[in-house]
């Protein structure tokens, strides 16, 4: 049965328990999975592989990486693919990220089919995309998996637009392979005024019921959809740790496996590591793989010195 869950990060400090107790509670609630000894690979990993104690970083194409993995191994597949909007990623120019729509659809269909194959029964797939593509890719997801949530991760800027309404959210689609094996409902602090710290909403006399936190909803407007500029490690988009953190809080297990074939600078793998999950992360740019390896190394050092990791 899904359990209540309080995250152990700074965002949860105001939920009325000390940070230490929140962390302890967090560890106690994260279900464990038996450690596995069998290899995750069914064939030789493609490209260049950098093995690590808690998983692998692989410099390879996403489809090739997924194809080399065994069936039914991942607790979470986290997909933050290129959006086909003509972005520059590392050594590849903008044309590489502006393919004909049917070619991009065929590519993403293969990624989703392979991701569904490597997911274990009850495992969760998260796909981060713009709504226009999320709608189209949902039909492929529906064939393989079961719909769980469409999470709107809100954008905060609101620049004037020439055409249409300002697109104010990214879609984070959550699908599971059959009934979800893990589905926790994190508690988050009720929205409060940054100046006076008072609650922004009126809870109609039931304030004491929300002081320990309110249930996380499918609209995430308390975090940024992209990593803050001051923490970024490259020019192209990166995710803040808070987004994969929530995916792990909802669907993760200690010692379970997270697979991220478009890992970029590795926010999802960093988070998996911090939460005690194993991870396989891939990116076709060697520069990104090097950043990931540096981040993983920094976690080891910071853990030793008990220093926080950049969000």
Ligand X SMILES: C[S@@+](CC[C@H](N)C(=O)[O-])C[C@H]1O[C@@H](n2cnc3c(N)ncnc32)[C@H](O)[C@@H]1O
Binding site for ligand X (CB under 6 A): 61-62, 80-82, 89-90, 237-239, 261-265, 267, 282-285, 288
Q: How many other CB atoms sit within 10 Å of the CB of residue 101?
A: 11
C-alpha neighbours within 13 Å on the C-beta side of residue 119: 30
Residue 143 makes CB contacts below 8 A (sequence gap 6+) with none
DSSP H helical segments within the chain, as ranges? 19-29, 62-68, 101-118, 131-144, 207-210, 242-251, 267-274, 286-305
In DSSP notation, 203-219 reads -TT-HHHHTT-EE--SE
- Cβ atoms of residues 171 and 151 within 8 Å: yes
Residue nearer to ligand X on the CB measure, 7 or 261: 261
Nearest distance from C-beta of residue 59 to ligand X, angstroms: 9
Least distance from C-beta 309 to ligand X, angstroms?
A: 14
Query: Minimal CA–CA distance to 286: which of 75, 32, 49?
Result: 49
Please identify, using beta-carbon distances, which residue of 82 and 256 lies nearer to ligand X.
Answer: 82
Which C-beta is closer to ligand X: that of 140 or that of 267? 267
**SS3 label, residue 84:** coil
Nearest distance from C-beta of residue 181 to ligand X, angstroms: 24
3-state secondary structure (DSSP) of residue 62: helix
State which residue, 22 or 79, has the beta carbon closest to ligand X: 79
Closer of 5 and 262 to ligand X (Cβ) = 262
Q: In this structure, what is the dihedral angle of CA atoms 151, 284, 47, 286, given to the nearest 10 degrees?
A: -120
Measured from the CB atom, the residue of 22 and 75 that comes closer to ligand X is: 75
**Could you give the 3-state DSSP secondary structure of residue 119?**
strand
User: Closest-CB residue for ligand X?
Assistant: 264
């Amino acid at each position: 049965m899904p359990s209540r869950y309080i995250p152990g990060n700074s965002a949860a400090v105001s939920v009325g328990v000390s940070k230490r107790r929140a962390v302890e509670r967090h560890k106690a609630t994260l279900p464990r999975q038996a450690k596995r000894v069998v290899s995750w690979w069914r064939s030789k990993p493609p490209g260049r592989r950098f093995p690590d104690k808690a998983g692998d970083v692989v410099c390879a194409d996403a489809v090739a990486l997924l194809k080399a993995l065994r069936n039914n191994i991942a607790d979470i597949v986290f997909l933050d693919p290129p959006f086909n909007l003509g972005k520059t990623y590392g050594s590849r120019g903008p044309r590489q990220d502006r393919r004909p729509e049917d070619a991009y659809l065929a590519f993403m269909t293969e990624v989703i089919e392979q991701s569904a194959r490597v997911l274990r029964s009850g495992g969760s797939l998260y796909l981060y995309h713009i709504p226009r593509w999320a709608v189209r890719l949902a039909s492929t997801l529906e064939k393989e998996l079961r719909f769980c949530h469409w999470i709107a991760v809100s954008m905060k800027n609101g620049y004037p637009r020439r055409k249409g309404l300002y697109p104010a959210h990214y879609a984070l689609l959550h699908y599971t392979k059959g009934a979800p094996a893990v589905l926790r409902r994190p508690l988050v602090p009720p929205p409060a005024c940054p100046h006076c710290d008072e609650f922004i909403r009126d809870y109609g006399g039931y304030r004491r019921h929300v002081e320990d936190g309110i249930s996380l909803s499918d609209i995430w407007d308390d975090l940024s959809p992209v990593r803050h500029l001051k923490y970024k490690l490259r020019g192209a988009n990166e995710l803040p740790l808070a987004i994969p953190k929530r995916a792990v809080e909802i669907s993760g297990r200690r010692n379970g496996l997270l697979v991220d074939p478009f890992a970029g600078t590795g926010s999802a793998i960093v988070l998996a590591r911090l939460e005690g999950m194993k991870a396989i992360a891939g990116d076709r740019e060697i520069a990104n793989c090097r950043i990931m390896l540096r981040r993983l190394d920094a976690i080891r050092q910071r853990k030793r010195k008990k220093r926080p990791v950049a969000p």
